Amino acid sequence: MELKERIIFEDNHLLVIHKSAGELVQGDRTGDPTLADFVKTYLKKKYLKPGAVFLGVVHRLDRPTSGVLVFAKTSKALRRLNQQFQSRIPKKTYWALVDKQFPETSGTLTHWMTRNTQQNKSKAHKNKVPNSKEARLHFKRIRDFDRYCLLEIELETGRHHQIRAQLASLGFPIQGDLKYGAPRSNKDGTISLHARTLTLQHPVTKETLLFTSDPEKVGLWKSVLSDSE
């Protein structure tokens, strides 16, 4: 899918796109092509920019995750959006597919998170431990399938791999998430976690904006989308 077909919103300050699962947002030790570079190339061609293109990465999504992703097109927008995220003003909801035996219909999960940078993995602890940070999310079970159920999750904090680690700590890793204990991988190496909505204030106009993204129709997401149509 071409980038222009994935644009959710664009003006002089923001570019909001649908990130496909498997895309790398920023460079890492793999050296693989990044979505940020792809977007810069798009902007350079669209606006015929002769020099370097400014693009600010406001937030990230894990590589195997899909959904709403925001970039800043100006340094002013980047600075103001960073302030919003630091103040936890934006609201994020996610869709996650887990085993159907998930015991509750709604609730709040609170853990203390630690991070292993060498393994690029986090762990959710029931109680506070050294070097841990509090992590909190709210969940609601919104649909059941033959073997899985769909959870809608609202993040209250934004820790590394927070949703993946918190659900795994209950014994319910996200479908396909081998890193956090899923029994089987997805065929394309992705995980069934999707950044569904993002609400924030426009960095210049201060207008409240709501962005929504549908998962791509692959795997079990086909059933999710067909049931919602």
Strands 66-72 and 91-99: unpaired
62 catalytically annotated: yes
Helix (H, G, I), strand (E, B) or coil at 10: strand
Catalytic residue among 28, 37, 62, 146: 62
* Nearest Cα to Cα of residue 154 among 139, 169, 168: 139
- Tell me the two tokens of residue 82: 């960073």
Give the residue ranges of DSSP H helices in 53-172.
75-86, 162-169
**Residues 6 or more apart whose Cβ sits within 8 Å of residue 105:** 140, 141
Strands 66-72 and 193-201: parallel
Catalytic positions: 62
